[in-house]
């Protein structure tokens, strides 16, 4: 969380808007490859050199719309949203099989069906894991990965 505070202070000094979302960083400060792969093509200060986008242009556009919505309305606004600027609304559900306050963001798509696991930490949406799904049910390994990542940062969120 100290890194987040430092980033927000630096952004305020530069006159930039403070983002209400961020990507999970391991204790050594790296963003996991699964998250980098799914967020490739979205400008973020946490990914220095963005690789070739994995998602299609439509999926990236929908994800960008969700991220803009989070920046405008905050994390609490995301949980109660009915529609985002008249576009197709991504579904956001609480993951009941997880230990902790884990949510899943689904972006409707025909090709990759991207899903993002996140938590709300001090008013900031933290994306813990990202993956492409072909079934409705979450795999235990995906839930476990997101839960483990949350456990490493849990002390910073309380």
User: How far apart, in whole angstroms, are the C-alpha atoms of residue 94 and residue 126?
Assistant: 14
Asked if residues 106 and 94 have their Cβ atoms less than 8 Å apart, the reply is no
Per-residue pLDDT at 2: 53
Q: Give the single-character DSSP code of 87.
A: B
Rounded mean pLDDT, 107-122: 83
Spatial CA neighbour of 138 closest among 86, 103, 87: 103
Per-residue pLDDT at 88: 47
Per-residue pLDDT at 65: 84
Of residues 147 and 44, more confidence is placed in 147
Domain housing 130: 19-157
Helix extents (H) in 52-125:
57-79
User: How far apart, in whole angstroms, are the C-alpha atoms of residue 150 and residue 158?
Assistant: 12
Q: Which two tokens stand for residue 140?
A: 């235990």
Asked if residues 118 and 126 have their Cβ atoms less than 8 Å apart, the reply is yes
Residue 14 belongs to a domain: no
Per-residue pLDDT at 14: 63
Residue 2 belongs to a domain: no
Domain count, the chain: 1
Per-residue pLDDT at 64: 86
Residue 13 belongs to a domain: no
Residue 10 belongs to a domain: no
Asked if residues 109 and 62 have their Cβ atoms less than 8 Å apart, the reply is yes
Asked if residues 102 and 147 have their Cβ atoms less than 8 Å apart, the reply is yes
Residue 27 belongs to a domain: yes
User: How far apart, in whole angstroms, are the C-alpha atoms of residue 9 and residue 48?
Assistant: 19
Number of H helices and E strands in the chain, helices first, is: 4, 5
Residue 3 belongs to a domain: no
**98-110, pLDDT tens digit by residue?**
777 888 888 877 6
pTM: 0.80
Per-residue pLDDT at 1: 45
**21-53, pLDDT tens digit by residue?**
889 988 888 889 888 888 888 877 777 766 778
Residue 37 belongs to a domain: yes
Per-residue pLDDT at 128: 92
Q: Does the pLDDT value for residue 3 go beyond 80?
A: no
Residue 1 belongs to a domain: no
Q: What is the sign of the dihedral through the CA atoms of 35, 37, 43 and 46?
A: positive
Q: List Cα–Cα distances, 32 to 57, 87, 100, 129, in angstroms.
A: 22, 30, 20, 8
């Amino acid at each position: 969380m100290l890194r987040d505070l430092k980033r927000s202070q630096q952004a305020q000094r530069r006159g930039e808007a403070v983002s209400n979302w961020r990507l999970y960083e391991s204790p050594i400060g790296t963003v996991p490859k699964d998250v980098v792969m799914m967020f490739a093509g979205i400008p973020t200060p946490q990914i220095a050199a963005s690789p070739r986008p994995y998602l299609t242009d439509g999926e990236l556009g929908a994800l960008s719309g969700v991220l803009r919505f989070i920046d405008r309305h905050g994390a609490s606004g995301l949980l109660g949203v009915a529609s985002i600027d008249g576009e197709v609304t991504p579904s956001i559900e609480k993951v009941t099989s997880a230990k902790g306050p884990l949510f899943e963001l689904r972006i409707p798509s025909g090709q990759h069906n991207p899903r993002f696991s996140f938590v709300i930490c001090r008013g900031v949406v933290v994306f813990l894991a990202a993956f492409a799904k072909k079934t409705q049910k979450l795999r235990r390994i995906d839930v476990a990965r997101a839960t483990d990542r949350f456990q490493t940062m849990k002390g910073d969120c309380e």
